[in-house]
């Protein structure tokens, strides 16, 4: 359970940082960023980027590295990450994520 809490906290921090970035991301810096989950280099189809001193990492890559299921609902613009009994939901454009149904 502590691993889930760490993952949720990391996810929420990354979402918050991305929201603050306003989409102004510098992809040229991504090649030098090495992100690890449990000591294993994170592989992703979209590389991590540095924006204003913060590293932004794709949510799907983190969740999948932690063994969580990720679902995307195009209609509602909602991403859901689920592992065991823990669920994290985030809607694009909103600043509040829900963990197990609670903001």
- Tokens representing residue 2 in the block: 């502590």
Q: Mean pLDDT throughout 7-33?
A: 55
Distance CA 93, CA 36 (A): 27
Q: Residues with Cβ < 8 Å from 97, sequence gap 6 or more?
A: 11, 12, 15, 88, 89, 90, 103
Per-residue pLDDT reduced to its tens digit, 55-91: 888 888 888 999 999 999 999 999 999 999 999 999 9
> Does pLDDT of 28 surpass 90?
no
């Amino acid at each position: 359970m502590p691993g889930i809490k760490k993952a949720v906290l990391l996810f929420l921090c990354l979402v918050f940082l991305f929201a603050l970035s306003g989409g102004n991301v510098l992809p040229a810096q991504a090649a030098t960023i090495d992100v690890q989950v449990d000591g294993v280099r994170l592989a992703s189809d979209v590389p991590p980027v540095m924006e204003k001193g913060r590293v932004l990492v794709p949510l799907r890559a983190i969740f999948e590295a932690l063994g969580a299921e990720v679902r995307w609902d195009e209609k509602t613009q909602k991403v859901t990450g689920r592992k065991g009994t823990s669920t994290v939901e985030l809607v694009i454009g909103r600043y509040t994520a829900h963990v197990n149904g609670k903001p």
